[in-house]
A and B are shown apart, each in its own frame.
Chain A
Amino acid sequence: MIGSSYALLAIGFTLIFGVMRRLNLSYGPSIMLGAFCGTFVYLEFQAGHLLVAVATVVGAVVAGIYIERLCFWAIRQGAALASMVSSFAIWMQLEELITLLFPERTYRFPPLAESVSIDLGPFFFRAENLIMFACAAVLMVLLHVLLYRTRFGLALRALSENPLAARFMGINVQWIIFLAFALASALGGVAAYLIVGTDGQITPMFGLWATFKGLIAMMLGGMGSVPGAILGGLLLGVIETQSVWYLGTEFRDLTAYMVLFVFLVLRPGGLMGQHTVRREQAAYRRV
């Protein structure tokens, strides 16, 4: 169940990475900013669920656009390392901003639903987990439609396949990247709303957490692949809950990182991205 939220985070990551081949470390902090916007609206105006969700998404998108302009658009192509480090610098900036604006350690966030548990045979679920799962599923279907049934989706896929060829086909690369960033941030905003809503509280540590969970899930699934990100997220969720169950809480992150490491060494392309790695290796050998 927690896996579906990881999957959403991983999709956001993978969208940005697939289009730009650069890593946005600031992804987590930007959606955290969104979540704090939601909290602010909730605490100040006693807003309802919908308004909080909208505020969260808008905040995340604004932060995402800020990062895109400063770290990716302004730094020319080819300097992938520079944009990564600069996105890290912006991470620090956003985190500091939030700790300044929200000096307390934790803040209340409107819970998604009353805590009711629902029994289904041998399993039992909490209501908010079910909501999260349903929302994630709907979003993934919408995303699929967007990617495979619209011109924007076509352009996006063309761009991640081969940026130069996409440019020759008359695709406005910068604009598509910009839109992809906004889309990824919006998805992240929804993910943040769902996750934070399930917890009922938010801390400034959320950014770090979101970046790393998203990153691990993306790597497990395969970089740049949307179905891979979904699978990776679900897999990560299963791994974490199983290791807590069998080994104890202190082993949760350890197992996740261990699995990631083994995966990277044995199957660097992840679950769904192996063919791109193979293609690269084959090209390398040919030369």
Chain B
Amino acid sequence: MDTYLISVLSNIGMLAFIALSAYLLLLVGEISFGQQAFFAISAYASGIATAMWGWPFWLGLVWGSLFGGVAAVLVAVPTLRLRGLYFSIATLAFAEMVRLLFEIFTYQVEIDGELVGPDGSEGFRDIRLIYEQDISAFEYMCIIYAVLALVLAGFILLERSRLGAIFRMIGEDPMLTEMQGLNTIAYKLLAAAMAGVIAGAGGALYAHLATYVEPKIFNVMLGVHSLAYGLIGGLGTAFGPLIGVAIDIGFLESVRAISGYRMIVFGGLVAVLLIVRPRGILDEAAVHWIRRRWRQVRHAPD
């Protein structure tokens, strides 16, 4: 594979994490503009762990994801009492706070005569682990997709489990769920924690691929994009957000020729798509239809 394709595929994989994280919260009916905050927190946490404390990569990944999850719970406890748009704006405010804090966050140590560590708005340079350990871009892409496959497997299990059913039920009608004797807030907290971990895993992977993290990347645009991916691809299945990411990045890359106009075309396409299918390409009805067809094909007498 040539390097260009690898970098595109790696980007798709990375964005898939944050899209899935926003998707998980969409399942329980909450719109979060702030998943990029956990992405950012984990990128910094894991970068600090590997580049400054010399931890191995997998430990940094786990550490970063945990950090994302814990941060998500801490934010979710006060904000999940808010409903609807209030929650969305609170997450937005939180994410911007995190970004602006990283703009002034400085923590550097000297390693081999060089200052390493985050330096305010200059960003966090030299997270060189994948060069030091001689991991090629292709291998790293495989790592990304391995972790992504793990997350997706988790999602597929979730969809088949009682927990997944409860999540969807909360998204459909929280009041009815509560009447079944289920603690909606606790389940939403769980969803928020899982979403934080997923975004965290993406952030840790991102930091090591880019080797350079700056606060600017984690702006609101990233958060709104990640929401949009789920909605373009469809809310019916975890593959929806992946499709959304693939459409966005794939489209942007394939139409380099008309690069000047691509956002105009893409923005219009998304707007029209959402008129036709307000819950995305693979919405619940489409997923149901596909499953039924699949069963028919499988059970058809041969």
Contacts A82-B274, A85-B274, A86-B275 given: A287-B175 contact, CB under 8 Å? yes
Chain B interface residue number, banded? 35 or more
Surface stretch bound by A, among B65-73, B92-100, B108-116, B154-162:
B92-100
Contacts A81-B31, A82-B279, A223-B85 given: A261-B264 contact, CB under 8 Å? no
Does B275 lie within 8 Å of A219, measured CB to CB?
no
Q: Which residues of B contact A70 (CB under 8 A)?
A: 271, 275
Bound-state Cα–Cα, A75 to B89, Å: 22
Q: Does A282 contact B (CB under 8 A)?
A: no
Contacts A257-B96, A265-B79 given: A82-B264 contact, CB under 8 Å? no
Bound-state Cα–Cα, A223 to B104, Å: 31
The residue from B78, B90, B103, B267 contacting A250, defined by CB atoms under 8 A apart: B103
Contacts A74-B275, A89-B266, A96-B261 given: A82-B231 contact, CB under 8 Å? yes
- Digit string of B4-28 for contact with A (CB within 8 Å is 1, else 0)? 0000000000000000000000100
Q: Which residues of A contact B31 (CB under 8 A)?
A: 81, 84
Of all chain A residues, which has the CB nearest B88?
Answer: A23
Q: Does A260 contact B (CB under 8 A)?
A: yes
Chain A interface residue number, banded? 35 or more
Bound-state Cα–Cα, A184 to B270, Å: 24
Does B267 lie within 8 Å of A81, measured CB to CB?
no
Bound-state Cα–Cα, A86 to B26, Å: 16
Does A264 lie within 8 Å of B103, measured CB to CB?
no
- Digit string of B78-91 for contact with A (CB within 8 Å is 1, else 0)? 11011101100110
Q: Which residues of B contact A81 (CB under 8 A)?
A: 26, 31, 231, 278
The residue from A86, A219, A257, A287 contacting B270, defined by CB atoms under 8 A apart: A86
A256 to chain B minimum Cβ distance, whole angstroms, is 9
Interface of chain A, helix or strand or loop or mixed?
helix
Of all chain B residues, which has the CB nearest A94?
Answer: B267
B241 to chain A minimum Cβ distance, whole angstroms, is 13
Interface residues of B in 207-238 (CB under 8 A from A): 220, 224, 227-228, 231-232
Interface contacts beyond A82-B274, A85-B274, A93-B267: sample of 14 additional A-B pairs, CB < 8 Å, sorted by A: A81-B231, A82-B279, A84-B31, A85-B227, A96-B267, A100-B261, A250-B104, A253-B100, A254-B104, A257-B97, A264-B86, A264-B93, A265-B82, A284-B175
Residues of B near any A CB (own CB < 8 A): 26, 31, 78-79, 81-83, 85-86, 89-90, 92-94, 96-97, 100-101, 103-104, 175, 220, 224, 227-228, 231-232, 260-264, 266-268, 270-271, 274-275, 278-279
Pairs A-B, 10 closest by C-beta atoms: A93-B267, A96-B263, A79-B278, A82-B278, A89-B270, A254-B100, A89-B267, A261-B93, A86-B274, A264-B90
